[in-house]
Structures are given as structure tokens and as C-alpha cells.
Structure 1
Amino acid sequence: MTRPVQNFRGCSALLVMAEDRNAQSLKVTLGKLGIIPTHFDPQGSPADLKSSLAAADMAFIDTDMLDAQFVSAIAGLALPVVAVIGIESPSRLQRAFDIEPSAVLMKPVRSNGVYTALYFAFNERQRRQQLLGKLSTIQERQGARRIVVKAILQLMQGLGLNDEEAYRHLRKESMSKRIPVEELAAQILSTSVDKKTRA
């Protein structure tokens, strides 16, 4: 993991919550940390919420006030989300869980705990993004391996080679053409498909 984010000065925070004591306490604490808070009325439209979230660096979402229609607009965001929870009923916790928060802040909101929630929200979201990137790379490699195996089988059948000889042949050709083995394997397979369609 890269170095953890510890300074949030200059960031913007969207507060999706009612204008109450919790929001006021949060605004004061965020201001002391150098964060610019913006309020969003939880009764607003999902489209307005989505555009407001796109302009923010982080979001504090009051899950007690959150309507179910907002969950899909929030879930899966690349930005750090802090769920602000007051009522710990299973349905409310499920809604909080569904927005995929990186951290939780309990009500009543006080100054202690806000920095901790920010720290975890930013750094957990960063870690999740890195893991998703690694997963995507692994899935791409896995897909490419199937293509390489198919190309090896085709070389074995076409040139009468065993599997090791076919792979060495594939590697040697890819090095001479200065392209990745996976790319050459795809070319071999597409060439064979072209020949079959012409026949």
C-alpha cells in the first residue's frame, strides 16, 4: 500500500444529512481540519446527489435519513464515504452497509472520532481501489492464459510438437517479433479462425 493519507487540508466534504446539531458539530470539526464542508439535503433528488458527490473529495452520509433510492447513487463510488449512524437497527445497518462506507461515525457527532473516521475512510478506500486494480490485472492475465493454452494446442496439432516445444516456439516467435506471448497467441488464433471462415 502507498503511504497513508494523514492531511485532509483543502479537501471538500459533502454532508448528506439534516441541518441539525450533528451537522453543525461535524462542520466545525471539519473546518478545524481545513476541510470545506458542503451540505446536501437528504430529501433532494438522486441526480442532484450524484452530481454533488462527483464534485466532492469525501462524503458523510447520515444513514438514518437516507432513502433507499440513494443507495445505488452512492454505492461503488471511488470517493471515501463515512456512514453516520445513530440507530443500530438491522435494516438501517444494512442500508449503511449497502452504500459501502470506508468508515463509520456514530451519533451524536462530537469532535473526537471525526479525524479517525477520515483517516480510515481515505486509506481504506485507497486500499480497496488498489485491490480492485490487482484483481482486474489477475483477471486479464487469466483470460490471456486461456488464449496462450489454445495457441499452444494449435501449435502442437499443426506442427506436431509436444506442449513444451510448442510453448518454446511461441516464446521464441514473440521475442523475435518483440510482442508479448499473449498478443502472438491471439494473432495465431485469429489467423486460424480466418482460415476456417474462408474454407
Structure 2
Amino acid sequence: MTTPKPTPSFVGWRALVVHKAHPNVDAIMLQFERIGVAAVHCWPEATDLPDISTFNVVLIDADMGYDGQFPWNPGEAPMPTIALIGSEAPGRVSWAMNQGADAQLLKPIGSAGLYSALVAACHAFARRNALAAEVAGLRARLESREILAEATAFIMVRDNISARAAFQQLRLMAMADRETLEAAATRLIESFSEERAAR
């Protein structure tokens, strides 16, 4: 049986609403106030805000938003992103997805819906970041294996020994210099490349 997760609280959070002045924005601001979130409204660009890193969530206008509106690249918002969608035109929905929207809120905005969108956006943002970290870790491990394999192969050819003996030699080299296997392998490959370039 899984333990239920506690009900999220957003009290004390800061939200950035990037949308032109409109009754939809007024409705969002009221909802934020009810759940204890301090919201800041701006339009058209969020690039000039000096304290952008202090926001916990950003709401973007999927209908009139454009590239270059934010101080980050599309899809790289450093916080959960909620798209405010009024038009379901494919190009507008596609733009919102390219921005990395973690959740959506359909316009016209009423007196409810924001809390659910916040929960969904935060959950999706956390999962996306965890997946990106996992992929980065796997890539680093793959690169590490490639470096170790290359260094081992170099020692095998240079000393005419087996793969096991070459790897053991690499391990001893790393221990002697008090460095990781990867660092020793990288140093060995770099020195070999320099020697070859000098010939």
C-alpha cells in the first residue's frame, strides 16, 4: 500500500504571470491571493525583471506569447510553467509545448482551476528534471566507459598485454596518482594524443 502524498501548499510562493492586462489575469491574481501566492504580472517581456530567479512558477500566454519573451531558451524554464490557452490553434498549442509547458489552464479563467494546474505543473516539472538528471548520468557513465575502453586498448597495444592486465595497469596508475580511473584514463589518452601530434 502506498502512502498518500501530503496536500501541496504554495503559501509563500512567488508567481510570474506573463500575459497582457485582461480579466483573465485579474481572475488568476485573485486565485493566487486565495492560496497564499504572491503574483507579479508583466507584459510583454519578462527579460527585464531583475529578480527572475526568485519566482517559483511562471504562467505564459499561449495565445500571444512569442520566442524571446523570456530570459531562457524555449523549453528551459528554471521553474514549472503553466500555459494559459484560449485558442486551440495547432500553432499556438505547439508553441506552448515548445516552451516546455508542464500544465495548462484554459481561458476564460474562472474562480477555480489554478491550484490543480499548479500541482500538475510542479509534478511534471520535477519528473522532467529527474529524467534529465538520469539521462545526463547515463551519458556520463557511457562517456566514462568509452574513455576507460580507449585507455585500456592503448595500454594493450603499447605493452602487448591482455585487456585484463591493461585495465589492472590503468587501475594501479590511478591509485599511484590518487585520482579516479576516468581521470587517469583521460590523462593517458591526452598524453598519447600529444605524443602522436608531436611526431
Identify the TM-score tier after normalising by the shorter chain.
0.7 to 0.9
1:8 aligns with 2:23: no
**Count of matched residue pairs:** 194
Within 2, Cα distance between the matches of 1:74 and 1:195?
A: 41
Partner of 2:161: helix, strand, or coil?
Answer: coil
Query: Pairwise mapping of residues 128-139 of structure 1 onto structure 2 (< 5 A)?
Result: 128-139=128-139
CA contact (8 A) 2:151 2:185 kept: yes
Where does residue 58 of structure 2 map in the other structure? 59
Where does residue 22 of structure 2 map in the other structure? 20
Query: Pairwise mapping of residues 13-92 of structure 1 onto structure 2 (< 5 A)?
Result: 13-41=15-43, 44-45=44-45, 47-48=47-48, 51=50, 53-70=52-69, 73=72, 75=74, 76-92=76-92
TM-score, scaled relative to structure 2:
0.85
What stretches of structure 1 of length at least 5 have no aligned partner?
none
Amino acid at match of 1:62: D
- Given the superposition, is the C-alpha separation of residues 40 and 169 from structure 1 closer, same or farther in structure 2, using an over 3 Å criterion? same
CA contact (8 A) 2:148 2:181 kept: yes
Amino acid at match of 2:66: D
What stretches of structure 2 of length at least 5 have no aligned partner?
none
- Given the superposition, is the C-alpha separation of residues 82 and 52 from structure 1 closer, same or farther in structure 2, using an over 3 Å criterion? farther
CA contact (8 A) 1:5 1:119 kept: no
- Given the superposition, is the C-alpha separation of residues 5 and 85 from structure 1 closer, same or farther in structure 2, using an over 3 Å criterion? same
| CA apart distance, 1:147 | 1.6
| CA apart distance, 1:55 | 4.3
Partner of 2:143: helix, strand, or coil?
Answer: helix
| CA apart distance, 1:73 | 4.6
Partner of 2:47: helix, strand, or coil?
Answer: helix
TM-score, scaled relative to structure 1:
0.85
Within 1, Cα distance between the matches of 2:191 and 2:150?
A: 13
Partner of 2:17: helix, strand, or coil?
Answer: strand
CA contact (8 A) 2:47 2:71 kept: no
Aligned-residue CA RMSD (Å): 2.4
Within 1, Cα distance between the matches of 2:7 and 2:140?
A: 29
| CA apart distance, 1:110 | 2.4
CA contact (8 A) 1:46 1:73 kept: no
CA contact (8 A) 1:5 1:122 kept: no
| CA apart distance, 1:123 | 2.2
Amino acid at match of 1:24: D
Within 2, Cα distance between the matches of 1:132 and 1:168?
A: 34
Task: Report the more deviating stretch, 4-13 or 70-79.
Answer: 70-79
Larger relative contact order (C-alpha < 8 A, sep ≥ 6)?
1
Identity of aligned residues (%): 24
Within 1, Cα distance between the matches of 2:95 and 2:17?
A: 17
CA contact (8 A) 1:71 1:99 kept: no
Select the structure that is richer in helix.
1
Within 2, Cα distance between the matches of 1:144 and 1:62?
A: 42
